[in-house]
Structure 1
Amino acid sequence: MKQYDTIIIGSGQAANPLAKKLAAAGRHTLLLEATHIGGTCINTGCTPTKTMIAAARMQYIASRASRFGIPVETGAIDLTAVVKRKNEIVASFRGSLEKSLEKTANLEVVREQGVFTGTKTVNGRYTAEHIFINTGARPVIPPIPGIHEVPYCTSAGMLDLQKVPEHLVVLGSGYIAMELGQMYRRFGSQVTIIERGSRILGREDEDVAAAVHQVLEEDGIRIITHASVERAAAAGNGHVRLTLQNGQRLEASHWLIATGRAPATEALQLEKTGITPDEQGFIPVNEYLETSVPGIYALGDVKKGPAFTHISYNDYIVVAENILNKKNISIKDRPVPYCMFTDPELGRIGITEQEAREKGLAIKIARLPLSKVARAIETGETRGLIKAVVDAQNGQVLGAAVLSVSGGEIMTVLQMAMMGNIGYKQLRNAIFAHPLFSESLNNLFMTLDDD
């Protein structure tokens, strides 16, 4: 049995900085990773998708160039070249991270699947005082009759296609569905999105979801709501025939399953530790990210909560500060900013109008369409809106949704205001450089100008 101070299972966005931090503090650390260093974000998530989405935006810009008086001939997308560039960037990021880990003193990186064989024993030969689980999540494949007899893709597989799909059918309407659906539409695919609910983006306010819906339809994407797939069957030529609950049939050259993700806990054998996952497989933790077993922690997507890279990274900061510096940092009530990288992108922070009204809060709603923003008009990017939820009593910003070019950057301005307790009247009267998109915050809060 080899004794370590720390064992980290998985190498996601919490694991890697945590491994280096603990090792640098003199703790003998073992990092176990079964596949690629860097986790979902670098290998199949943020880095590759945003790289390819950037290529799709270049195509979109080129297709609109004539409106600006610039004649540009656009041809078929060279998807092989797009994927090659993506792979090069992923390899560069992953390679840089691997080298950084390799040169860290007191840190051993072993390419193995971490499996508990005792309360604090891993793979039958490693043990440690502190163990951190950062194994991430995997796509959920729904139990549709025939699904395993036909070809389908998950988000990772969609990033390695060498030919633009003729007709891509997307099951689900979350962020992955929105981003990849729009991306392949811009690459030249016919795209159909199937959503079983009454609308897309069920967690967002109705007006925000409707604005995204309008953008996608303007881009030529067909969205079918109140629909579910009853069965799937081969249609010949490698295609898939999908039968909906209303009897409607769709034939797809490619079928993307984007119905959510589940925690990657199956291989861990958590029962050997005494940890019991919840019904969905998530590992329960307290507000300090510790499981029911003292000294064992769950970080990132493997625990319940927002599944974002930046939240996983913040998990690292929480446990590192608490363990090394004896702090008492909690994840309770921490802000959760996020962004959906459609074009325009959707930046979100804080509470939605829908959530505020369900809680019975006294609120004001500030709303400004991008068509009223000077910079948007000048750049020809008038699709979208900016919306803020404001406390009616003290004027503090409680939440915001920004559907705009650079929507995430504008949202971050509002996040900083929330962090600094800067009220909407200060933002309304603030001096922002002209003509920035962020300058539109003046006009946004002028819609609440009541005194």
Structure 2
Amino acid sequence: MDFDYDLFVIGAGSGGVRAARVSAAYGARVAIAEDHQVGGTCVIRGCVPKKLLVYGAHFAEDLADARQFGWDVPDCRFDWPRLRDTVLAEVARLNRAYTDTLNNNRVEIILERAAVAGPNRVRLAGGREVTARHILIATGAWPVIPDVPGAEHGITSNEVFHLDTLPRRVVIAGGGYIANEFAGIFHRFGAHVTLINRGDTILRGYDEGVRDRLLQISMTKGIEFRFNTRFADIARRDDGTLAITLGSGDVIEADLLLFATGRAPNTRGLGLAEAGVALDDQGAVIVDADNRTNIPSIHAVGDVTNRVQLTPVAIREGQAFADTLFGNKPWRVDYDCIPAAVFSHPPLAGVGLTEGEAKNRLGAVKVYTSDFRPMKNVLAGRNERALYKMICDPVTERVVGLHMIGPDAPEILQAAAIAVKAGLTKKQFDQTVALHPSMAEELVLMR
């Protein structure tokens, strides 16, 4: 059969763009459909603009600390519209850059919603149908909004970058990385932040000692946490403020409610079930190690598969898909030992097994720590302490996990993650001369 395309990609996020670009470079005829902006969640409404807000928020502490370093810093006023518009301008630039990349690789961009109409057919929103030898689903994930009366008065991380004014009182629902990152951002912008969590802990999946340190620091700064708490009702008053009633009967007044309660695979309305594509109970596309669904011509990469919801993972999956299918260079993504970070205030990062996971898997572990006050914090009069943890196999001394919280923790961990991935031992860390004075030197000084 003569198809219109060798590959049709639905979703122009990180994974879809990488798969489309590389496949086209191998000579495939490729089209990609996107109903919003090229770049996807990370670039348009996720990690990139959020990290820019993190930078903006951190200036609040930097300006205050600068006085202890001899700088005559006057009281400064924060201008939210200026930062918002600058961030959105950068997002627009990245959208153009991604679009140019696809165009330069001769990928046809279709700015239209697309759905699967069969094993080799795609139906566009305008009614046109096209055929493709292979179809790749790369539609990412979408914020989950809890089923509670008045939930329509809240927003998600999709909308937070477009606020007209900066709220004075912010309630954030959730305890994951998005919730804690925006808690730090809004707090440093001067808002009172209350984080509502239906569970009893924050940042599940991260090392307990590190996440407890973040909770301690956040509470000291004035961020309020309410655990084991659910929403009962959300009402908007005539003056535009919100009255948020909790399951306990308490009422919290707020100017903004941000739902950060997880992200679900974005498969609704894509025609996948009708085409016979197997989905799990959360709506995620089920794929094998080569990103293939149960329909041989249909594949999926990225958050829509709900394997690991991280942008670098989606990019790597897209690369493996293109190399394997069109480049005659088959390989599979290794999901072991993936580093992750939370850009909170201060940030935390980790790779490998947590202490709890290591004990469950190995039975016993050796844990080395460094609990210290960064030099900059000492001179600035800031009492925040950093914490580094190294988890080792008790027999071989191989480092199986590394976790840290403190200034620049994600930047330090990226290099250290290579050592953990390579299976290096505590002795090899110890044999490396410290780079002094630095926070990173604590990695080779832990006891």
Instruction: Provide the TM-score with structure 1 as the length reference.
Output: 0.93
Correspondence for 1:61? 62
Does the 8 A contact of 1:182 with 1:219 survive in 2?
no
Correspondence for 1:121? 121
Correspondence for 2:398? 396
Does the 8 A contact of 1:140 with 1:262 survive in 2?
yes
Correspondence for 1:253? 255
Question: Matches of residues 232-243 of structure 1 in structure 2 within 5 Å?
Answer: 232-243=234-245
Indicate the SS of the match to 1:177. helix
**Does structure 1 residue 23 correspond to structure 2 residue 27?**
no
- Which of 352, 357, 377 is the equivalent residue of 1:350? 352
Question: Matches of residues 169-248 of structure 1 in structure 2 within 5 Å?
Answer: 169-248=171-250
* Equivalent residue letter for 1:134: A
Correspondence for 1:292? 294
Question: Matches of residues 224-373 of structure 1 in structure 2 within 5 Å?
Answer: 224-331=226-333, 333-371=335-373
* Equivalent residue letter for 2:223: I
- Unmatched 5+ residue regions in structure 1? none
Of residues 391-400 and 315-324 in structure 1, the stretch that sits farther from structure 2 once superposed is 315-324
* Equivalent residue letter for 1:120: N
Q: CA deviation at 1:396?
A: 1.2
Q: What CA distance in whole angstroms lies between the structure 1 residues aligned with 2:292 and 2:24? A: 20
Q: What CA distance in whole angstroms lies between the structure 2 residues aligned with 1:297 and 1:253? A: 43
Q: Decide whether aligned partners of structure 1 residues 395 and 304 sit closer, same or farther in structure 2, where only a CA change above 3 A counts.
A: same
Q: CA deviation at 1:77?
A: 1.3
Correspondence for 1:144? 148
Correspondence for 1:421? 423
Indicate the SS of the match to 1:357. helix
Correspondence for 1:409? 411
**Does structure 1 residue 431 correspond to structure 2 residue 433?**
yes
* Equivalent residue letter for 1:318: A
Indicate the SS of the match to 1:115. strand
Does the 8 A contact of 1:388 with 1:401 survive in 2?
yes
Task: Describe the superposition over 1:166-222 as per-residue Cα deviations: whole angstroms up to 9, x where unpaired.
Answer: 100001111111111111111111111011111211222322121011121122211
Q: CA deviation at 1:22?
A: 1.0
Indicate the SS of the match to 1:40. helix
Q: CA deviation at 1:442?
A: 1.6
Q: What CA distance in whole angstroms lies between the structure 1 residues aligned with 2:390 and 2:75? A: 39
Does the 8 A contact of 2:351 with 2:417 survive in 1?
yes
Q: Decide whether aligned partners of structure 1 residues 380 and 21 sit closer, same or farther in structure 2, where only a CA change above 3 A counts.
A: farther
- Unmatched 5+ residue regions in structure 2? none
Does the 8 A contact of 2:69 with 2:380 survive in 1?
no
Q: Decide whether aligned partners of structure 1 residues 377 and 413 sit closer, same or farther in structure 2, where only a CA change above 3 A counts.
A: farther
**Does structure 1 residue 111 correspond to structure 2 residue 115?**
no
* Equivalent residue letter for 1:255: L
- Which of 129, 133, 136 is the equivalent residue of 1:132? 136
Q: CA deviation at 1:276?
A: 2.3
Task: Describe the superposition over 1:381-419 as per-residue Cα deviations: whole angstroms up to 9, x where unpaired.
Answer: 753311121111111111111112111122123211123
* Equivalent residue letter for 2:43: I
Does the 8 A contact of 1:306 with 1:336 survive in 2?
no
Q: What CA distance in whole angstroms lies between the structure 1 residues aligned with 2:44 and 2:210? A: 30
Correspondence for 2:38? 37
Q: What CA distance in whole angstroms lies between the structure 2 residues aligned with 1:9 and 1:380? A: 52
Q: What CA distance in whole angstroms lies between the structure 2 residues aligned with 1:375 and 1:193? A: 29
Q: What CA distance in whole angstroms lies between the structure 1 residues aligned with 2:323 and 2:395? A: 36
Does the 8 A contact of 1:375 with 1:435 survive in 2?
no
Task: Describe the superposition over 1:2-40 as per-residue Cα deviations: whole angstroms up to 9, x where unpaired.
Answer: 521111110111111221111111111111111100000
Correspondence for 1:46? 47
Instruction: Provide the TM-score with structure 2 as the length reference.
Output: 0.94
Q: CA deviation at 1:120?
A: 1.6
Q: What CA distance in whole angstroms lies between the structure 2 residues aligned with 1:228 and 1:76? A: 35
Correspondence for 1:96? 97
Does the 8 A contact of 1:212 with 1:384 survive in 2?
no
Q: CA deviation at 1:335?
A: 2.8
Aligned-pair RMSD on alpha carbons? 1.9
Q: What CA distance in whole angstroms lies between the structure 1 residues aligned with 2:415 and 2:225? A: 32
How many matched pairs?
441
Q: Decide whether aligned partners of structure 1 residues 78 and 122 sit closer, same or farther in structure 2, where only a CA change above 3 A counts.
A: same
Q: What CA distance in whole angstroms lies between the structure 2 residues aligned with 1:253 and 1:125? A: 46
Q: Decide whether aligned partners of structure 1 residues 200 and 294 sit closer, same or farther in structure 2, where only a CA change above 3 A counts.
A: same
Q: CA deviation at 1:360?
A: 4.2
Does the 8 A contact of 2:362 with 2:393 survive in 1?
no
Indicate the SS of the match to 1:425. helix
* Equivalent residue letter for 1:83: R
Task: Describe the superposition over 1:234-280 as per-residue Cα deviations: whole angstroms up to 9, x where unpaired.
Answer: 23311111111222110111100110111110121102321121111
Q: What CA distance in whole angstroms lies between the structure 1 residues aligned with 2:282 and 2:372? A: 40
* Equivalent residue letter for 2:60: Q
Indicate the SS of the match to 2:252. strand
Higher relative contact order (CA 8 A, sep 6+): 2
* Equivalent residue letter for 2:171: V
Indicate the SS of the match to 2:345. coil
Does the 8 A contact of 2:81 with 2:164 survive in 1?
yes
Indicate the SS of the match to 2:172. strand
Does the 8 A contact of 1:167 with 1:190 survive in 2?
yes
Does the 8 A contact of 2:23 with 2:323 survive in 1?
no
Q: Decide whether aligned partners of structure 1 residues 204 and 334 sit closer, same or farther in structure 2, where only a CA change above 3 A counts.
A: closer
